[in-house]
Amino acid sequence: MSKATLTTVFIAFLLTSSGAKPNGKNKKPKQAVPAIECDMRAGKISLSEFIVKCPANCRETKEKVYGTGVFASISSICNAAIHSGVITNSGGKVIVMKMAGQAIYKGSLANGVRSLSLPNWRESFSVSVGKPKQGVTYPSTLVFVPSRPTTVKTGEPKDLPYSTVSPVTEAPEAEPSSTAAPPTTTHVTIPITTSAKPRATVHKVREAAPAPEEHKPPSETSHTRESLAGSNPFESGFSAQGHDLTARVPELMSQGDPNCKVDIAFLMDGSWSIGKRRFKIQKDFLVDVSQVINVGVAGPMMGIIQYGDDPVTEFSLKQFSSSKDLKPAISKIVQKGGLSNVGKALSYINQHFFSDANGNRGGAPNVAVVLVDGWPTDKVEEASRLARESGINIFFVTIEGPDENEKQNVVETNFVDKAVCRTNGFFSLPIKSWFALRKAVQPLVKQVCDTDRLVCSKTCLNANDIAFVIDGSSSVGTGNFRTVLQFVANVTQEFEISDTDTRVGIVQYTYEQRLEFAFGQHNNKADLLNAIKRINYWSGGTSTGAAITFAADQLFSKSKPNKRKIMIVITDGRSYDDVRAPALAVHRKGVIAYSIGIAWAAQDELEYIATDPDRDHSFFVDEFDNLYKYVSKIIHNICNEFNSQPRN
């Protein structure tokens, strides 16, 4: 055999033994990446480490995120990734790594996503760029935690630790609470010891107030609290005792009073100063309310939070759907003890209680009724304001308030007037004696069911008809017009959009006017944003005055009586017609007008258009690309103006 032939054979042998392709390159197997939705929570996937692909526009969904850097497993994976800067709002691949739960998760605002704080959660995760390390292959399919356990027997725990091997008995994750229970037990009894002292230094000492009950072991206590996971019996299909409820659902699902469709949270005082006997009176009062109000899915839904040093949810809005089932649940509540930290309790309901996961229905006004023995031991004004701005109607029932000698001990004077939605007496119910409390049942039920007077269910984000009047003249140009539309979209997406919330209409004008779409034509945020993107540039002259009159006729004439009318005029030049008379006419009709001038816009015309004071309603930028600077300013001013309205 020749030397050349031997060489050829040797090379062929090397190629064959190395598995190389004829072109000399090894192709790496492509990583299969499963796609998920924006609302997918890390805790729903029973893998310790995995890769996923997020869709675009998750930020607009505002799915909840808890923590910064390290997130509670109740968080949306995609929005956690946007918050961390791992992906943009356009979506992308994300690697998720599970880790142990944290004692505290700190909230922050980053990359357009606001994360919330959380005191405790049983499992955490971190996110990183979805580029696997060399030699690492992640699962191509996801293993999900089942939505309900397959078998649960009485006394067995429903909430087991996460497992990447056998997740069969895992219960669904519930919304976070500041009282997260250990993951391996179904019931947690709150310890109550005789060492706790009444707050005699800051609170009225009640005559013959009995000492708090000693803590009993779980087998003896009359009340236990479900752990967070699987705490809703209708969600898991099993009651707290493990019995199958699915067969009884039709019986349990009372319709309720349709004339009183509210989501109502009672904040009951569990402080030591209230004493055992008065705590029992308070429970009897709540039982009476629950029977009179006629709870049901088509009417009111009721939850209870007990507060002391810290608040704790006794049961959520969706846990009981009939007055009949509420009675025994209330009677089993055990006094928590501690101080009367009402401000902390109001912050808790604002951040955690009125959530979709807890049964908040959206279309029903949120009501919080605070029962206070004497007075709060912390400040309520700031927490109440934030709760009201979230649309929560706050009622105060104060029993045996401070007398003249005790007023020096009150942490915040006039705390009721600072907390309630209106100071006209409708939202406050002073009771002189605990023994007169039951007489307040009927008046209270009547007031919380008067949905026409629940004014705090309206906020600066859901109470408007907003008309954008956009200059489409030749001087604007196609590119700049798209920038204007982006500005309009950025402002719009901050509001709650529906036919019963904020509605948006748009007029484009040159010498003529064109109604792009009317109020209520696009009743969800996604459709509205798409409609804004589809608006075509017109081109022509500039008749701003006629456009304002057109908007008044075509849009504001069809406004709903309970809507705030807001007009935002955007123009880049001086108008060929008079703007003063049309602007004055819409001002007189109650329209709040904002003017935004760009480049060659006339300052005097901007001031004529704008509602007084001009500094809050008129803005000018030298070029179109700087419009974005005023998005947050306009939204802030709209909300500030709404929230500063008289509360009486």
What is the arrangement of strands in the sheet containing 123-129, beginning at the earlier edge strand?
49-54, 92-100, 123-129, 70-72, 67-68
β-pairing verdict for 263-269 and 301-307:
parallel
Tell me how crowded residue 229 is: count the other CB atoms within 10 A of its CB. Answer: 25
pLDDT at 12: 52
| Residue tagged 């699902």 (tokens) | 253
Alpha carbons 192 and 216: distance in angstroms, whole number: 8
Q: If phi over 0 gives left and psi between -120 and 50 gives alpha, with beta otherwise, what is residue 207?
A: beta
Which CATH superfamily, name and number, covers 464-643? von Willebrand factor, type A domain (3.40.50.410)
pLDDT at 236: 28
Domain 187-456 has CATH 3.40.50.410: yes
What are the backbone angles phi and psi of residue 79, rounded to the nearest 5°? -75, -30
- Residues 203-221: pLDDT tens digits? 444 433 333 333 333 333 3
In the chain, what are the domain boundaries? 42-129, 187-456, 464-643
- Kindly state the DSSP code that residue 349 receives in the 8-state scheme: I
β-pairing verdict for 311-315 and 301-307:
antiparallel
Query: Can you list the residues of the chain whose pLDDT is less than 70?
Result: 1-29, 147-254, 455, 457-458, 562, 645-648
Q: If phi over 0 gives left and psi between -120 and 50 gives alpha, with beta otherwise, what is residue 141?
A: beta
Alpha carbons 350 and 373: distance in angstroms, whole number: 22
Alpha carbons 493 and 490: distance in angstroms, whole number: 6
Tokens of 352: 């955690």
What are the backbone angles phi and psi of residue 627, rounded to the nearest 5°? -60, -35
**pTM across the whole model:** 0.43
Rg, Å, the chain Cα set: 30
List C-alpha distances in Å: 594 to 221, 462, 570, 586: 61, 18, 9, 12
pLDDT at 158: 32
| Residue tagged 């996110």 (tokens) | 127
Tokens of 552: 């008044």
Alpha carbons 67 and 421: distance in angstroms, whole number: 31
β-pairing verdict for 67-68 and 70-72:
antiparallel
The answer to whether 440 and 395 are in contact (CB under 8 A) is no
Alpha carbons 445 and 169: distance in angstroms, whole number: 42
Which overall architecture, per CATH, does domain 42-129 show? Answer: Beta Complex (2.170)
pLDDT at 196: 35
For residue 643, which of 389, 457, 463, 420 has the smallest C-alpha distance? 389
Tell me how crowded residue 263 is: count the other CB atoms within 10 A of its CB. Answer: 25
Alpha carbons 51 and 94: distance in angstroms, whole number: 6
**Bridge partner residues of 114 (DSSP):** 109
pLDDT at 176: 52
β-pairing verdict for 123-129 and 92-100:
antiparallel
The answer to whether 332 and 300 are in contact (CB under 8 A) is no
Tell me the DSSP string of 510-551.
SSSEEEEE-TTSS-SHHHHHHHHHTPPP------HHHHHHHH
List C-alpha distances in Å: 212 to 206, 280, 332, 636: 14, 12, 16, 48
In the chain, how long is the greatest CA-to-CA distance?
A: 119
List C-alpha distances in Å: 379 to 398, 411, 415: 15, 7, 8
- Kindly state the DSSP code that residue 401 receives in the 8-state scheme: -
pLDDT at 149: 39
What are the backbone angles phi and psi of residue 70, rounded to the nearest 5°? -110, 130
The answer to whether 507 and 467 are in contact (CB under 8 A) is yes
3-state helix, strand, coil in the chain (%, to 5): 30, 20, 50
Q: Do domains 42-129 and 187-456 have the same CATH topology?
A: no
Residues recorded for the chain: 648
List C-alpha distances in Å: 56 to 83, 96, 97, 128, 248: 14, 18, 22, 17, 42
Alpha carbons 513 and 309: distance in angstroms, whole number: 60
Contacts of 287 (CB under 8 A, 6+ apart): 326, 327, 330, 331
- Kindly state the DSSP code that residue 66 receives in the 8-state scheme: B
Contacts of 445 (CB under 8 A, 6+ apart): 260, 289, 292, 293
What are the backbone angles phi and psi of residue 54, rounded to the nearest 5°? -90, 145
For residue 614, which of 635, 632, 596 has the smallest C-alpha distance? 596
Tell me how crowded residue 458 is: count the other CB atoms within 10 A of its CB. Answer: 18
Our CA angle for 139, 74, 36, nearest 5°, is 40
Tokens of 534: 């589809």
Alpha carbons 132 and 97: distance in angstroms, whole number: 12
